[in-house]
Amino acid sequence: MTAPIRIAVIGLGKIAHDQHLPAIARSHQFDLVATVDRAGVSEGPTPFFPSIEALIASGIAVDAVAICTPPQVRHDIAQTALEQGWHVLLEKPPGATIAEVVALREAAQERKVTLFTAWHSRFAPAVEAAGAWLKGREMTRAKITWREDVRIWHPGQDWIWAPGGFGVFDPGINGLSIATSILPSPMFVVSSQLSFPANLCAPIAAQVSCRDRSGAPIELDFDFLQEGPQHWDIEVETTSGTLVLSKGGAELSVSEGALGEHDTRGEDLVGEYPGLYRRFAALVRAGVSEVDVSPMRLVADAFLRARIVQVEEFHE
């Protein structure tokens, strides 16, 4: 395939409007041919449909879809797309459960189409350099801090508090997606404390203790009620220096000096989604999939090892 990939975006929430649609519009690799949302509205002259079934019935030629719905409904939509022979990009987290994502991976393999679990934070400007610096080094300690204000970043998104919505792990999994791609060895959950508001079904804060294969401690500090400065930081101590990856992967420094400073993460998550779509195009053209559930496994293990604490009700 050398012509632009004809893509439809399914789910027109905040992340689709802020990131997916602009990234597709700027890419010469893709041609937006349709949008789909059960409650949304048309994006200009682009054909709009209320469901994937209506898109299929229209007969519009589609090569791929980017699914940006809440994770609770993503599996069935993705399965339908795969059955059409369409390549599929799954916004993070790629499903409500690991089993759903594994089943989709098997379906994509059977139909010989691409499935891409799109961990966008891995495409932040400084992540690749951080991984290169850490390669071959011995880690002694790490801390992942993901503290943000849910009222700013997820306004009106009730799905995030429902079962399968991940709560504070929806942003926290971004940090885990970076950590699982750059740390020298796998990490395992030892214990966790999850704080659930009395009126909700997902945690608003999480304190998780992990370790790597050699026993080096890794602490996770996730909070959805951060006021003032927001924190998306990973600090890794090694036997030969300390690395700090800050602003969601936009800035990197080590103990002997800065390796490079880039645009801050900001509201537009500078640079992540163009890189994400370059990767998706490369996978589609190569005819291969990239399905990684390691960040989801850590979230699931945090729930398995959790001490649940009930805290005061949360209301926007």
| Active-site residue, from 14, 92, 112, 143 | 92
What is the chain's pLDDT, residue by residue, as a tens digit (316 residues)? 589 999 999 999 999 999 999 999 999 999 999 999 998 777 788 999 999 999 999 999 999 999 999 999 999 999 999 999 999 999 999 999 999 999 999 999 999 999 999 999 999 999 999 999 999 999 999 999 999 999 999 999 999 999 999 999 999 999 999 999 999 999 999 999 999 999 999 999 999 999 999 999 999 999 999 999 999 999 999 999 999 999 999 999 998 654 544 333 333 345 799 999 999 999 999 999 999 999 999 999 999 999 999 999 999 8
pLDDT of residue 145: 98
pLDDT of residue 262: 38
pTM confidence score? 0.92
Instruction: State the SS3 of the chain.
Output: CCCCEEEEEECCCHHHHHHHHHHHHHCCCEEEEEEECCCCCCCCCCCEECCHHHHHHHCCCCCEEEECCCHHHHHHHHHHHHHCCCEEEEECCCCCCHHHHHHHHHHHHHHCCCEEEECHHHHCCCHHHHHHHHCCCCEEEEEEEEECEHHHHCCCCHHHHCCCCCCCHHHHHHHHHHHHHHCCCCEEEEEEEEEEECCCCCCCEEEEEEEECCCCEEEEEEECECCCCCEEEEEEEECCEEEEEEHHHCEEEECCEEEEECCCCCCCCCCHHHHHHHHHHHHHHHCCCECCCHHHHHHHHHHHCEEEEEECCCCC
pLDDT of residue 265: 36
Domain ranges in the chain are 5-118, 122-264+300-311
Q: What is the CATH number of domain 122-264+300-311?
A: 3.30.360.10
Whether 92 is catalytic is yes
CATH topology of domain 5-118: Rossmann fold (3.40.50)
